Amino acid sequence: MNKISSLRKNELIEFQKALNLNFKNIFLLNQAFTHSSYVNENKLSRLESNERLELLGDSVLNLITTEYLYEKYKSYNEGDLTKLRSVLVSKPVLAKASLKLNIGKYILLGKGEEASGGRNKESILSNVFETLIGAYYLDSGLEKVKEFLKKTFLENITIGEEVNDFKTKLQEVIQSKYKKRPIYVISGYFGPEHRKIFLVKVCFRGKVLGKGKGTSKKEAEQQAAREALEKMNFKF
């Protein structure tokens, strides 16, 4: 597909303006939006679909997301970071991000896939998010992709909404049995003023159930709640 109609070119320019993108190679952007059903229906080469870009985009997205979480959640261990990453790069979360960026509007689909609602399918939306990342990486490099992902994806996600909310779970466990809530107490902090690490205890009836630390009080409370649940052998 080495030709793009003027109408299609205008659509791609519209997309870029909305997200402050500037592809040097507009054919790469077009390929990122080209679903295999469109390729099959129009008897194009399989290499003209976005499937190869999806593989690349998946790897780039994982790298940038891992680095972002590593820097942001300094008190989290390997298991915590792996869990966060797996949620953030999951199909539901990526599909939600695609919807916010209005990506579905620009996907090239075969008539059958279009008729079956493919433009709003979670699997297609999540895959095209990855193909866009792969295309942008090839076009503009890693730093530009990092900048794009931070602005439009990573910094717009409320982690608590996407992963286990340990405070809520602990509260549910205790309230179901005792009809009262646990109490969170700041037991101290350390580090420079601009990078404090908070220490928190979660207590109930005078007993410390768990301890946590984090770069914010909220993060430390979540870690304390998680430790309390682990001591209770709570499965999550």
Taking the C-alpha atoms of residue 196 and residue 217, their distance in angstroms, rounded to an integer, is 10
Taking the C-alpha atoms of residue 6 and residue 146, their distance in angstroms, rounded to an integer, is 30
The token duo for 12 is 């791609």
Taking the C-alpha atoms of residue 15 and residue 187, their distance in angstroms, rounded to an integer, is 50
DSSP for 94-123, please give it. Answer: HHHHHHHTTGGGG-B--HHHHHTTGGG-HH
Would you name the residues annotated as active-site residues? Answer: 58, 130
Neighbours of 29 (CB within 10 A): 23
